[in-house]
């Protein structure tokens, strides 16, 4: 197989439409142009809190795979920093929810969220190779980074009260974290068999589809 060195770039080119669908979703474009409906934002806040909690065991499973399978101990340091960020994030969701009057304990997860959390659980299986799982982790984080960074670019009209949310994932430190994850994924994909490569490509597409469904759920009237 030719050119295994930048698999992520190859796949992003190949699956550009779905990637753009996930990172430039109307939900994000509506934050960026200031037309976001606050009930949609609150729905996102409540549902994402559930998703972020489900991300903790997911990231823990990746930490375990890195410990077992990686040849580079700095992988673990980065993944551990991702876990620490989730801890801060959970505290942030609680304070943000109380600011917006959203009662997190009574939130019922919607179908798209349940489906996505079930998908995360499937990737936690010990049968899923590290290269595949880290590709999924990168994609999950990259979608949020690219989406929220877009809301902070010059010319955006993001409402003042939503800027802190956009900063959470749109900041340059998180951008660097995503680039480091991408480098780790590329390095492991380079050594992977064709079978593992095709599994990683499928996982990447699944993540992007789940992200689109998640935004759809937040935008909808349900
Ligand atoms: C649905 C979804 N996708 C990605 C992220 C970003 N990861 C951690 O915060 C998130 N919070 N929610």
Across the range 154-172, mean pLDDT stands at 97
pLDDT of 222 strictly over 80:
no
CA of 1 to the centre of ligand 1 (A): 33
Check residue 28 and give its pLDDT.
98
Tokens representing residue 63 in the block: 């930490």
Which architecture characterizes domain 4-219 according to CATH?
A: Up-down Bundle (1.20)
Q: What residue segments make up the domains of the chain, in order of their start?
A: 4-219
Task: Compute the distance between CA of residue 79 and CA of residue 51 in angstroms, rounded to an integer.
Answer: 18
Q: CB under 8 Å to 104, separation ≥6 — which residues? A: 46, 49, 93, 94, 97
Check residue 122 and give its pLDDT.
98
Check residue 162 and give its pLDDT.
97
Task: Compute the distance between CA of residue 11 and CA of residue 19 in angstroms, rounded to an integer.
Answer: 10
CA of 2 to the centre of ligand 1 (A): 33
What is the CB < 6 Å shell around ligand 1? Answer: 48, 51-52, 55, 89, 140-141, 143-144, 211, 214
Tokens representing residue 59 in the block: 């990231």
CA of 49 to the centre of ligand 1 (A): 9
Residue among 28, 58, 141 whose CB has most ligand 1 atoms within 8 A, to mutate: 141
Catalytic residue among 129, 141, 201, 211: 211
Check residue 97 and give its pLDDT.
98
What pLDDT digit, counting tens, does each position of 14-55 carry? Answer: 999 999 999 999 999 999 999 999 999 999 999 999 999 999
pLDDT, mean over the chain? 96
The answer to whether residue 209 is catalytic is no
pTM for the predicted model, two decimal places: 0.97
């Amino acid at each position: 197989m030719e050119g295994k060195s930048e698999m992520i770039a190859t796949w992003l080119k190949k699956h550009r439409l779905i990637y753009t669908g996930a990172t430039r979703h109307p939900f994000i474009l509506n934050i960026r142009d200031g037309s976001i409906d606050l009930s949609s934002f609150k729905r996102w806040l409540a549902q994402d809190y559930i998703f972020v909690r489900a991300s903790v065991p997911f990231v823990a499973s990746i930490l375990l795979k890195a410990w077992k399978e990686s040849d580079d101990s700095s992988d673990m340091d980065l993944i551990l920093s991702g876990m620490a960020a989730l801890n801060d994030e959970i505290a942030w969701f609680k304070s943000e929810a109380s600011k917006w009057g959203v009662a997190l304990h009574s939130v019922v997860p919607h179908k798209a969220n349940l489906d996505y959390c079930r998908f995360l659980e499937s990737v936690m299986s010990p049968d899923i190779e590290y290269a595949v799982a880290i590709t999924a982790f990168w994609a999950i984080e990259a979608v949020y980074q690219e989406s929220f960074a877009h809301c902070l670019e010059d010319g955006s009209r993001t409402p003042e009260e939503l800027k802190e949310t956009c900063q959470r994932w749109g900041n340059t430190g998180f951008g660097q974290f995503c680039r480091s994850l991408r480098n780790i994924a590329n390095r492991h994909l380079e050594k992977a068999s064709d079978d593992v490569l095709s599994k990683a490509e499928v996982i990447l597409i699944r993540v992007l589809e789940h992200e689109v469904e998640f935004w759809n759920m937040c935008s909808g009237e349900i």
